[in-house]
Amino acid sequence: MNDVTVTRTLVIPASELRERFSRSGGPGGQGVNTADSRVELSFDLAASPSIPDHLKRRMLDRLEGRLVDGVLTIAASEHRAQLQNRGAARERLAAILRGAAAPPPPMRKPTKPTKGSKERRIAGKKRRAETKRGRSGSWD
């Protein structure tokens, strides 16, 4: 097993990951009943010593819907080979942790509409009202 690189500065050691293998569903031919190709990769985020505290709080908050007792579990069964599923699970884990560790977006600075945009809006409303006013008329 290899370490999982989340960012340049954040690497999850392989010793903190747990893998479980089971039979994958779907078509697969003769080996479908014997090959344990499905991979469940588990990472105990809450107890991990390799994640700094400030990042750990942010990640736990963002991933609280996916965690079970602080453990993040990812299942991969899209490939027929176990090795490919192991790689896919690790890539997915890195992507999820990368998204959870990202800094929050900057706060939106409130702005007011410009004078020109207000004038264009009012002019458009007047044109529309004139169009509608032209529709009502006396019919001879």
Q: Name the one residue in this structure whose structure tokens are 């998204």.
A: 99
- Alpha-carbon gap, residue 66 to 43, rounded angstroms: 12
Distances (CA, A) of 139 to 53, 108, 128: 78, 54, 22
Give the pairing of strands 38-44 and 17-22: antiparallel
Q: What is the pLDDT of residue 125?
A: 97
DSSP state of 68: B
C-alpha 104/C-alpha 28 separation (Å) is: 43
60-83 CB burial, b ≥16 within 10 A, e <16: bebbeeebeeeebebbbbebbebe
Q: What is the pLDDT of residue 3?
A: 84
pLDDT on residue 89:
93
Q: Give the separation between CA 135 and CA 60, rounded to whole angstroms.
A: 61
For residue 85, what are the CA distances in angstroms to 22, 36, 77, 90, 125? 11, 11, 6, 9, 59
- Write out the chain's pLDDT in tens, 140 residues: 688 888 888 888 889 899 888 877 766 666 656 678 888 999 998 888 988 898 999 999 999 998 899 899 999 988 888 889 999 999 999 999 999 989 989 999 999 999 999 999 999 999 999 999 988 876 65
pLDDT value of residue 115: 96
Tell me what pLDDT residue 27 has: 65
Q: What is the pLDDT of residue 7?
A: 84
